Structure 1
Amino acid sequence: MCIHYTASKFQGGKDMGNKPSGRHYFAEGITNRGYISLLPNMMSEWERTYVLMGGPGTGKSTTIKMIGLDLLDRGYEVDFLRSARDPDSMAGVLIRRFNWAILDHYEIAPLHWRAPGVIEHFVDFSKYCNQGKLEQQRLRVLELEEKIKRGQQRIGEILAEEFGGRIRERFYAKADEGRPWLPKLYASDLFKEAKGPWSKAQDALKKIQKSAVQSFFLHGINPEGWLNLAPYFLTDYDQIRFDGEEAHEAMEWVLQEAEQLGQVIDIVLHPLYPDEILGIVFPERNLAIWQGDPEHLEDQGLGCPFSNDLKKALLDTQRLRDKLKAIYTKTVDFDQVDSMKTDLLNSILRDMDKKVHTID
C-alpha cells in the first residue's frame, strides 16, 4: 500500500483574503441499490427549510442557485446540493451558519425529505404559470411524467444488473442490515429486498458517538459519464491518499481512530456502492483522507465506460425531462419569478439578521 500526502495551497486550508467558497455535493444518489437519499439524516440538524414547489422548468433551480451565490458573495458559507437526476442542476442550498436550507421539491426523493421539528416555508411556483396553457398540456404532462418514472426505474435496473454483483469478500465482515453512516436510508422499492455484505467500517462507525457524522456523494451520473466534484471539493484540504489493495483496511483503521476525535466528520460514499467509503473529510482539521487520486475516476473504480444500454437509458430520460421542462417554461411569467426571488432573498436576509441579534 502506498500513502501520499498533499498539502493544500492555502495555509490552514483557507485563503483569508478571499470570500468563502461554496461546497458542491450530492445529498442523493442513483446507485446499484436504487435511489438513495441522505437528506433525512442531514435534516435532523436543520432548523429551517424553504421548500420551492412546482413543476420542472419553472425557475426553482435557478432561483436556488442565484440566492446561494448571493449569500456566498455576502460572506456566508453555502453548500450547493446538486440534483442526482440532473447533476448540472441545483436541488438545494444549505446555509451552514444557521443550518437553513432551500430545497427544490421536484428534484428530491418524493415524500422522504420532511423532518420533524424543522420550520418549513413553502413557495409555490405554479402561481407564476399560465394555468390555461398548462391545462391544455395536462395529458402530455402526465404521459411524460410516467415515462420519466419508467426511465428512472430502467436506469436503476441496469445499474443493478451491471454493478450489483461486485463483492470484496476479504474486506467485509458478516452481512447485517445495519449501515450506520446511512441511519435513515431511503432506497427505492425496486431494491427494497436487496441484501449484501456491508463494510467492516460500520463496526468503527457504530462507536463514533462524540463526532458529528454526515454522509454525501461527490459523483453524479449523466449520459456523458461521471460528473466528478471531488477535486473541487477537496481543493483547499490537506490530503492523505491511500493506494493499493490495502486501502480499504487503512480507511477502516482511520475510522476506528476517529472514534475519539469528537468533531465534524464528512464521509464520502461511493456513487454506485453506497456501502463503500471513498473518503473521510475532517473540516475542522482541514484534512481529507482518500482512496487514490480524487481526480482519477479509475482509482475509485469508475473508469469503465458506460454500457450502451445505460447511456441510452440516461439519454432517453434526460430528453424526456427536457420536454417536460419545455412545457412548463412556456407558461411561466419569469418577471414575476425574478420579483419573487428578490423578495425571498430579502426575507431570508431579514430572518438571518434577526437570528444573529437573538444569538448576540
Structure 2
Amino acid sequence: MADEKHIQYFLGANSPSGFYSLYDHLLPPERASRFYILKGGPGCGKSTLMRQVARQAEEAGEEVEYILCSGDPDSLDAILLPRLGVAIVDGTAPHVVEPKYPGAVEEYINLGRAYQREGLQEVKGELMSCMTGYKACYQRAYRCLGAAASIQEDVRATLTTPALEERLAKRARGILSRELKPRLALPGQVKQRFLSAVTHKGIMTLYDTALLQCPKVYELHDRCGLAHSLLTHLLSGAVAKGYDVVACPDPMAPQRLAHLLIPQAGLAFLSVAPGQSPAEKPWRRVRIETGVGSDLLRRSRPRIRFAQKVGEALMEEAVASLAQAKAMHDDLEAIYHPYVDFSLVDRTAQELAQTILEK
C-alpha cells in the first residue's frame, strides 16, 4: 500500500512519549456528512473493509486520502473521501475514536460480530500470551525513542540562538514574498497530518504524497532538526495570504513541524536527511545549518557527531522492538483469522460503499 501512488498520510506516531494521535484531525464532524467508526479486535477485517470501499470510491471517480498505520504501513487505519465529506476510521486502541454527534454524524460499525466466538475459546490462552508480549515491545520502543529524542533536543538547544531565529524568519519572508500571491479567500485553513513515521521498517517519509500535490519542492537540508522555526513562519504567512496548508509534525517531536505542504500553490517544504533528495529536480535547496554561526557550529561538531551516533543506535533498537511487535501482531492475526467470517466483512463493505456512493 505504501508504495502506491496515492495521497497517503499517517495520523498516529510512535513518539518518544508513546503513541501520539492526530485522529481528531481526520475530518471535523462539523464538516462531515458521514463518519463511520469501525470497532473490532485484531484480524477482524477493518483494513480489508476500508480497502474495498476505497477501491470502489476510486472506480466511481472519487479522490481518496489513505491513512496508513504507523505500526504497519501496509495496513490502513482510515480513509477519507474529501469531496463527499465521508470518513471511515479504525476507532480501536491506541487511536480510540468516539462520536461527538452520535447518530447525526458518526455511526459505529461493529466488525467484532464477524468473530466466531466458540472457536476462539479454544485458543484463548494463545491470544492472551501474544497480546502481553506485543504491548511490552511497544513500551521498549518508546523508551528508546525517548532517549534518542533527549539527545536530539540537547543539540537543538545548543544550536538555536536568536540570530538563527532571525535568519530563518527573514528567509521565510523572502520565500513568502516570492512564491505566494495573496488570495481572495482569507484566511486559509490548517490540516494536520504526519508525513513521516517511525515504523517497523525504520523511519518512513511519504514523499510521493507531497510530490503528487506539489510539483515545486523546497528541500530543507537539516541534520539537527532546526527547520521548525522556518516552517512555522511559512505556515502563518501562507494562511494569512489565504492558502490552505498541510502541517506535518515531526514524529520524534510532535510539537515541532518537519514538513509543510501548500497544495493550492503546488509548493512543498520537505525536511531531508543528508544524501536524500525526494524530488528529481527540487525547486530550491535550503541548508538550514548555514544560519548557525560558524564558530558555534565548529565548537558543536563533536556534540553533533556524538548525538548522531548514539541517536542512530537508539533508533535501531526502537525499530527492532517495533519489528518484534509487528511479528507478534501478525501471529495474533494468524490465530484470529480462521475464526473470522470474512464473507460478512465483504458484505458490510459492499453495503457501505453503496450507501456512500449513492448519496
Shorter-normalised TM range: 0.7 to 0.9
Larger Rg: 2
Q: Deviations over 1:7-66 (max 9, x none)?
A: xxxxxxxxxxxxxx7410001111123211111233435523212221211211011012
- Partner amino acid, structure 2, of 1:278: A
**Quick one: which of 11, 36, 51 aligns to 2:37?**
51
**Quick one: which of 34, 40, 43 aligns to 2:24?**
40
SS in 1 for 2:98: coil
Contact conserved, 2:70 with 2:199, CA < 8 A, in 1?
no
**Structure 1 unaligned blocks of 5 or more:** 1-20, 174-198, 354-360
Distance 1:157 1:277 in 2: 22
Distance 1:284 1:140 in 2: 51
Do the aligned partners of residues 317 and 244 (structure 1) sit closer, same or farther apart at CA in structure 2, a change above 3 Å counting? closer
- Partner amino acid, structure 2, of 1:128: A
Partner of 2:146: 160
Over 6 Å off, 4+ runs:
299-303
Of Structure 1 and Structure 2, the greater helix share is in 2
Matches within 5 A, 1:1-360: 22-45=6-29, 46-47=31-32, 48-106=34-92, 108-110=94-96, 113-117=97-101, 119-167=105-153, 168-169=156-157, 170-171=159-160, 210-244=187-221, 247-292=227-272, 295=278, 304=312, 307-350=315-358, 353=359
Structure 2 length-normalised TM: 0.72
**What value does the CA root-mean-square deviation take over the aligned residues?**
3.1
Residues 336-345 or 101-110, more deviating: 101-110
Distance 1:283 1:244 in 2: 21
Contact conserved, 2:100 with 2:106, CA < 8 A, in 1?
no
Residues 81-90 or 237-246, more deviating: 237-246
Do the aligned partners of residues 41 and 104 (structure 1) sit closer, same or farther apart at CA in structure 2, a change above 3 Å counting? closer
Distance 2:218 2:210 in 1: 15
- Partner amino acid, structure 1, of 2:347: S
Q: How many residues align?
A: 295
Do the aligned partners of residues 279 and 172 (structure 1) sit closer, same or farther apart at CA in structure 2, a change above 3 Å counting? farther
Contact conserved, 2:62 with 2:81, CA < 8 A, in 1?
yes
**1:150 shift after superposition:** 2.1
- Partner amino acid, structure 2, of 1:99: G
**1:108 shift after superposition:** 4.7
**Structure 2 unaligned blocks of 5 or more:** 163-167, 174-185, 280-286, 289-307
Residues 89-98 or 230-239, more deviating: 230-239
- Partner amino acid, structure 1, of 2:262: F
- Partner amino acid, structure 2, of 1:212: Q
- Partner amino acid, structure 2, of 1:215: Q
Q: Deviations over 1:332-360 (max 9, x none)?
A: 1222222222112112223xx2xxxxxxx
- Partner amino acid, structure 1, of 2:211: L
